[in-house]
Amino acid sequence: MNDDRVASTRTTYDLIADDYHARNTGGTEPRDWYDEVTVGLPPGGRVADLGCGPGLDAAALREKGFDTVGLDLSTSMLFLARGYGVPVVQGDLRRLPFRDGALDGVCSSAALLHVPREETVATLAEWRRVTRPGGALALVTSNGDDEGWEVVPYAPPPEGEPDRRRWFVHRTRDELVTALGDAGWTVEHVGARESHRRWHLVRARA
């Protein structure tokens, strides 16, 4: 947590949580990607939403009957997720507070894109550690090859305060598939979707 890229991104999410929630509630962007993580999982299976934000996907998984927990580094995001009745835990995507093989499935949408590139394989291996053999991963992350700071366009700071910024790391399909394999995942499918960004939609097995 000493990395300024991660610490500053966390601070930004604490500040923009309400704006982010409003922007992502009731929109037209499909939220069916999380169905991928439930393929072949037992009814009531234990699933973690990593980087859960305000809890929208975690709540949808719970409605499908899965025993879902949300994890996020932002205190403000977790407060919103609790409002959906989602059990939550504060934690770092790179070091998860779950025991080995504790989960039947892991899902993560628009969260890996904040993990520094050099920590990609180690982070995905950590996700693999907490997933039982045969368990599922559903991952949505950005498509690209660049990285750097982006100023939040929809939640400007009060006058006189510094810009609110987040660190983004975009990965090509080949880079992402290679990293998943190196981390111990078997990739089953990589799809694509485009909105304000280009997205990879990945299904993999532990």
Judged against a pLDDT cut of 80, whether residue 31 lies above it is answered with no
Query: What is the C-alpha to C-alpha distance for residues 166 and 10, in angstroms, rounded to an integer?
Result: 8
Judged against a pLDDT cut of 60, whether residue 11 lies above it is answered with yes
Q: Would you say how long the chain is, in residues?
A: 206
pLDDT at 133: 97
Q: How confident is the model at residue 40 (pLDDT cuts 50, 70, 90)?
A: confident
Judged against a pLDDT cut of 70, whether residue 7 lies above it is answered with yes
User: Taking a C-beta distance cutoff of 8 angstroms, is the pair 140, 199 a contact?
Assistant: yes
Q: How many domains does the chain have?
A: 1
State the DSSP code for 171. B
pLDDT digits (tens, 9 = 90+) for 48-72: 999 999 999 999 899 989 999 999 9
Judged against a pLDDT cut of 90, whether residue 25 lies above it is answered with no
Range of the domain at 106: 4-24+32-205
Helix axes 75-82, 4-24, angle to 10 degrees: 30
SS3 call for 7: helix
Judged against a pLDDT cut of 60, whether residue 28 lies above it is answered with no
Specify the CATH number for the domain of residue 137.
3.40.50.150
If you average pLDDT over residues 65-84, what whole number do you get? 97
User: Taking a C-beta distance cutoff of 8 angstroms, is the pair 173, 146 a contact?
Assistant: no
Query: What is the C-alpha to C-alpha distance for residues 91 and 82, in angstroms, rounded to an integer?
Result: 15
pLDDT digits (tens, 9 = 90+) for 156-166: 999 989 899 99
> pLDDT over 90 for what percent of the chain?
82
